[in-house]
Amino acid sequence: MSERVFDSVLVANRGEIAARILRTVRGLGLRALLVAHEIDGRTPAHDLADDVRLIFGPTPVAAFLDADQILAAAREMGAQAIHPGYGFLSENAGFARATQDAGIVWVGPSPETIDLMGDKVRARAFVGARGFPLAPSAVEDDAPETFIERARALGAPLLIKPSAGGGGKGMRIVTDMALIDEELARARSEAQRYFGDARLFVERYVERPRHIEVQVLGDAHGAVVHLFERECSLQRRFQKIVEEAPSPSLSEGERQDICAAATGIARACRYQGAGTVEFIHGTDGFYFLEMNTRLQVEHPVTEMITGLDLVAEQLRVAAGHPLSISQQDVRRNGHAIEARIYAEDPARGFAPTTGPILRLRPPTGEGVRFDTGVLEGGRVTAAFDPMLAKLIVHGQGRAVALERAKAALGELVLLGLTTNIAYLGRLLADPDVVAGRTHTGLIAEKPDLVIEAPLDPESLEALIAAAALSSPDLRRAVDAISGLHAAMGAWRN
């Protein structure tokens, strides 16, 4: 395959992932370009970009979903490649195809691969036909008229999923088969609302499962490697909160088997670039869940244990070069943990919060990385996903990584709005998490973790006094000399 030389890359995204990609783009000596919506104001990504174009829409999210507008901005700025990040248009085969048709390099897998693996039903059929493990399931597309009957035959518990789904949207667990009709109707409504596609499938729900995913890289020359696995079992409503690598639950034999399955699936679909094959792991083995044809939110933990820059590899593959490493070159070093920092209030059902960033002081120290999309003085709105940043730590062992993560969360200062920082600290200190006894339902089983321990009276008084004395207006009032006393001049008694 011929090389596709480019010297400029447009990041069609925002927030921490835009800043993270732009750092690598600049580090490679390429021109860094960005599209942005005015509601974000100035962000770290703005500071890293050589050129920024505003995009518009009926809502800020709609602007980032407007493929025509983004391509027009790319042409205006002279972009020769587009990196979509994650979310928005990153798994939109139509956008990938339109980018290539415009003569711009698409940093990602082929549109055909995105089409195949993005449709959960087609992906399952593809993987199953090649002998990889699947959970018992019923697919609506196979025979819509018998779908409910086949779903009932599987028995409880069942997991309902949208065919075009992702990010946990539209997924429902059915433990009482008397409710199957009602739950299917709700899932269908959510699938239509989120994805414009109401098709469903159901699969046998694995009780207390672990969510294990494998990072893969492929190039246009047929090479595929894995970069080991990540444990993503700490989830809330199917949304990951904490991820780590490697998984503390897998034996070395299980690790080899699951990584071999992931590379086999990637090789079968002729995968190019960075992708993730996700599995559900239970007491009876593991089952294919889905493949994400993009960079994952949690990719930094893989970078921390391998020393590789996944964005650099994506750009290398997009330029037509072979991967920079072979499987035997990939080495695992230590343990890494990522905690997602959200603008949300755990005590109010994790409701999203908004407000100003009055003070931001990231943690520092050995093995600490902080990827953020906000700046001090900025403002968090309800326009986008509430994730503000990612705290990533590395240590030579899991115990060291856990202690560093808890210490870094305690050091992190983010004032102006309610966040989940304190909650994450309590979660990482939970005995089951410390022992590695995690599963996808663990957080739901521990509702008391949202409750902050009350401060003792002495600490509360000290904090109130410190806050009062930090007020410039109060300090001026305290230090001011009244007019009567000032008139006394230098008089002494």
- Summarised one tens digit per residue, pLDDT across range 111-147 is 999 999 998 889 999 999 999 999 888 988 888 899 9
Q: What pLDDT digit, counting tens, does each position of 330-348 carry? A: 999 999 999 999 999 999 9
- Confidence at residue 366, expressed as pLDDT on a 0 to 100 scale: 96
> Residue 453, class by beta-carbon neighbours within 10 Å (0-12 exposed, 13-18 middle, 19+ buried)?
exposed
Rounded to an integer, what distance in angstroms lies between the CA atom of residue 46 and that of residue 15?
A: 10
Q: Is the pLDDT of residue 402 over 50?
A: yes
Tell me how far apart the alpha carbons of residues 151 and 177 are, in angstroms, rounded to a whole number: 9
CATH architecture of the region 8-107: 3-Layer(aba) Sandwich (3.40)
* pLDDT grade for 478, boundaries at 50, 70 and 90: low
Judge residue 461's burial from the number of C-beta atoms within 10 Å of its C-beta, 0-12 exposed, 13-18 middle, 19 or more buried. exposed
pTM of the model: 0.88
pLDDT at position 320 is 96
Phi, then psi, of 107 in degrees rounded to 5: -90, 90
pLDDT higher than 90, residue 468:
no
Structure tokens of 385? 């996903």
What residues contact 363, with CB distance under 8 A and at least 6 apart? 370, 391, 407, 408, 409, 411, 412
CATH class (in words) of the domain with range 136-204: alpha beta
Average pLDDT of 299-322?
Answer: 98
> What average pLDDT does this structure show over 11-23?
98
Q: Which two three-digit tokens encode residue 228?
A: 């080991």
Burial of 379 (0-12, 13-18, 19+ CB in 10 A): middle
Report the alpha-carbon distance of residue 490 to residue 333 in Å, rounded. 70
Q: Closest by alpha carbon to 200, among 145, 146, 138, 158?
A: 138
Chosen CATH of 210-450 out of 3.30.470.20, 1.20.140.10, 1.10.3720.10, 3.30.450.40:
3.30.470.20
Q: What pLDDT score was predicted for residue 194?
A: 83
Quick check: 21 pLDDT over 70?
yes
Asked if the model's pLDDT at residue 239 lies above 50, the reply is yes
Confidence class for position 317, pLDDT limits 50, 70, 90: very high
Q: Are 278 and 213 in contact (CB under 8 A)?
A: yes
What tens digit of pLDDT does each residue of 34-78 get? 999 999 999 999 999 999 999 999 999 999 999 999 999 999 999
Alpha-carbon span 15 to 40, nearest angstrom = 9
- Residue 488 clears pLDDT 90, i.e. is over it: no
Supply the pLDDT for residue 310: 98
- Spatial distance between the Cα atoms of 231 and 253, rounded to a whole number of angstroms: 16
pLDDT at 430 exceeding the cut of 50: yes
Segment 282-295 shows an average pLDDT of: 93
Q: What ranges do the domains of the chain cover?
A: 8-107, 136-204, 210-450
Q: Is the separation of the CB atoms in 288 and 10 below 8 Å?
A: no
Percent of the chain at pLDDT exceeding 90: 79
pLDDT of 169 strictly over 80: no
Whole-angstrom distance, CA of residue 18 vs CA of residue 48:
9
| pLDDT value, residue 1 | 47
- Average confidence (pLDDT) over 185-203: 89
Q: How far is CA 237 from CA 233, 291, 401, in A?
A: 11, 19, 26
- Amino acid 331: pLDDT: 96
pLDDT of residue 137: 87
Contact assessment for residue 296 and residue 270, using Cβ atoms and an 8 Å cutoff? no
For 226: left if phi > 0, alpha if psi spans -120 to 50, otherwise beta; the answer is beta
